Amino acid sequence: DVVLTQTPPTLSATIGQSVSISCRSSQSLLHSNGNTYLNWLLQRPGQPPQLLIYLVSRLESGVPNRFSGSGSGTDFTLKISGVEAEDLGVYYCVQSTHAPFTFGSGTKLEIK
Partner 1 sequence: EVQLVESGGGLVQPGRSLKLSCAASGFTFSNYYMAWVRQAPKKGLEWVATISTSGSRTYYPDSVKGRFTISRDNAKSSLYLQMNSLKSEDTATYYCARGASYWGQGVMVTVSS
Q: Half-sphere exposure of 81 toward its Cβ, with a 13 Å CA cutoff? A: 7
Q: Could you say which of 49, 63, 88, 111 contacts partner 1 (CB under 8 A)?
A: 49
d(CA 10, CA 106): 8
Q: Could you say which of 45, 48, 85, 112 contacts partner 1 (CB under 8 A)?
A: 48
Lay out the site mask for partner 1 across 1-40 (x = CB under 8 A, - = otherwise): ------------------------------------x-x-
Is 100 a binding residue for partner 1 by CB under 8 A? The answer is yes
Q: Could you say which of 14, 34, 85, 99 contacts partner 1 (CB under 8 A)?
A: 99
Is 91 a binding residue for partner 1 by CB under 8 A? The answer is no
Q: Which residues bind partner 1 (CB under 8 A)?
A: 37, 39, 43, 48-51, 54, 90, 92, 94-96, 99-103, 105-106
